[in-house]
Amino acid sequence: MYDIKELSKIIGDDARVIYGDGIEHKYLSDTLGRKKGSASVLVFARSTEEVSAVLKFANENDIPVTPRGAGTNLVGSTVPHNGAIILDLSLMNRILEVDAENFTATVEPGVILQDFQKHVESLGLFYPPDPGEKLASIGGNISTNAGGMRAVKYGVTRDYVMGLEIVLADGTVVWTGSKNRKDTTGLDIKNMVVGSEGTLAVITKCLLKLIGKPELSRSLLICFGSLKSGIEAVPVILKKNLNPTAVEFIERKVVALGEKFLGLEFPDRESEAYLLLTFDGAKDEIENNIALLKETVKDVSGKIIVLDDPELSANVWKIRGCLVKAVEATSEQEPLDIVVPINQIDRFVNYVNELESESKMQMISFGHAGDGNVHLCVVRGDRDEGTWEKELHANLEKLYAKAHNLGGLISGEHGIGVSKRDFFFSEIPAANVTLMNSIKNAFDPKRILNQGISYTK
C-alpha cells in the first residue's frame, strides 16, 4: 500500500503539495466551474524532473493523474477523476530561448499565451495562433490544438509546434521534433500529442515556430441584408486570394448583445449580418488587397466599411470579443465550438435559429467564417437545474446531429473533455475509437493519464 504523503518528499516543498480537503474548488473543475471531480492531492511542479518523479510514483501505484495548466478549458478536460493527483504545470512558466536566426522559441508549458506573444513581438517576431482566451497556457493550447480568429491565414497551434519534451506515464522523458523545418524520420510523435488533451503524456517543454512580425494590420466590416448573403460571400472572397488574417461572421441580434454589454456601437446598425475581416502584412500589400476586396464586394451585395480609425476598429473587435462574456453576464450557458464546411455555415446557423424558436432556449451563434467554426452559446435562462440539464442535452443532441449531417464535427477548438464524450462516441466510428485507444495503450499502458477524458474508455 502506498503513502500519498510520499509526494511531499518527492517535491521537497510542502507549499507545493496540497492534500484532500485543502484543494480549492477551481482545481477540481475547469473555467466554467460546473463539473467537479475528485482528487487526493494537488502538486505544483517546477521542473521536468519533478514531473517525471510524480508520474513514476503514480504509475507504480496505479494512481490517476490529471495534468493542468491555466485552467481555462471549457469542456472539463481538467476535471480529475477517481481521487487523482492533479499535476499543475503553471509554475513551469519560463521562456527558455528565442532563436531569432532559426525563428523558434523554446518555452515551458505554463507560459501564458499573451505574455509570450508580447515578448516575441517586442523582438520583431510573431507567434500567430490566436485563440480567444489569451490567458490560456501554451501547454493547454497545444493539448487542445487551439485555433482562433487568425487560423484562416496562419493555421492552428499544431502548425507552430516543432518539438516537444514529454514525460510518459511511467516517468520516461522523451524529446520529439527539432528545429528543422522538414522531418520524415519516422512517425511524428509530437503531432500525436498535440490535441490529445493530456491523455498521452505530460508536456514539459515546447519548441515553437515563429515568423516575422507583420508591418501593419487593418480591419474592415462588410454589411449584408442576410446571413446567407454574408456566408455566400466568404468563398468568393477567399477565391480572390486576398489572404485575410481573420474572417468572422456575426448576426445583428448577436452584435446587439455585445453593444449593450459594453455600451459601444457598431458603425452600422441596419444590416442583418456582418463579416469582420482583418488583413496584415506590408502596407502596399494590404492596400492592394482592400482595393480588390472593394471590387469583389460589389458582386456580392455587401456594403464595406474600412475601419481606418484605430478607436473604432478596436471597439468593433471589443464587441466581437465580448460576446461570450455578454451572455455569461446574464445567464449560465454551454459554450460550443462546432465546425461545418464553409458553405454550410448559413444552413447550420439557420437551423440554430429555428431550434431556438422551437425550444424557447436562447442560442447565440457567431464565429470564424473563414474556416467554418461556429461558436454557439446555449443559454440556461431561468430554468431550474433539472429542466436545464434535460433540455440542454436534448438540444445538444439535435445540434450535433445537424452538424454531423452537414459534414461537420462536434469540436474545432475546445476539445472533447468530459462534456462532449457521449456525443463523440455516438458519432465517431468504433474502429477509430479502438485505434485511438491502442495509441493510448502504447503511451500509457496502465491508463493513468486523464481518465474519463475525451476518447479514453
Q: How far is CA 403 from the centre of its chain?
A: 19
In the block, which residue shows the cell 485552467?
71
What residue ranges define each of the domains in the chain, with the CATH number in brackets?
A: 6-88 (3.30.43.10), 95-212 (3.30.465.10), 216-323 (3.30.70.2190), 331-416 (3.30.70.2740)
pLDDT digits (tens, 9 = 90+) for 344-373: 998 999 999 999 999 999 999 999 999 999
pLDDT at 299 over 80: no
pLDDT digits (tens, 9 = 90+) for 140-173: 999 999 999 999 999 999 999 999 999 999 999 9
Contact criterion met (CB below 8 Å) for 351 and 402: yes
Per the DSSP assignment, residues forming a β-bridge with 6 are none
Mean pLDDT (the chain) is 95
pLDDT number for residue 57: 98
Contact criterion met (CB below 8 Å) for 249 and 227: yes
pLDDT number for residue 132: 87
For residue 46, which of 94, 95, 112, 107 has the smallest C-alpha distance? Answer: 94
Alpha-carbon distance values, 148 to 162, 220, 245, 248, 291 (Å) = 19, 18, 11, 10, 26
Q: H-type helices in 105-207, by residue range? A: 113-121, 138-144, 151-154, 189-193
Residue 39 C-alpha cell reads as: 482528487
State the average pLDDT over residues 322-328. Answer: 88
Quick one: what percent of the chain has pLDDT higher than 70? Answer: 100
pTM for the model = 0.94
Longest dimension (CA), the chain: 74
Q: Which residues of 409-430 are buried (b: 16+ CB within 10 A; e: fewer)?
A: bbbbbbbbbbbbbebbeeeeee
Put residue 282 in one of left, alpha, beta given phi > 0 → left and psi -120 to 50 → alpha.
beta
Per the DSSP assignment, residues forming a β-bridge with 191 are none
Other beta carbons within 10 Å of 33: 11
pLDDT number for residue 329: 87
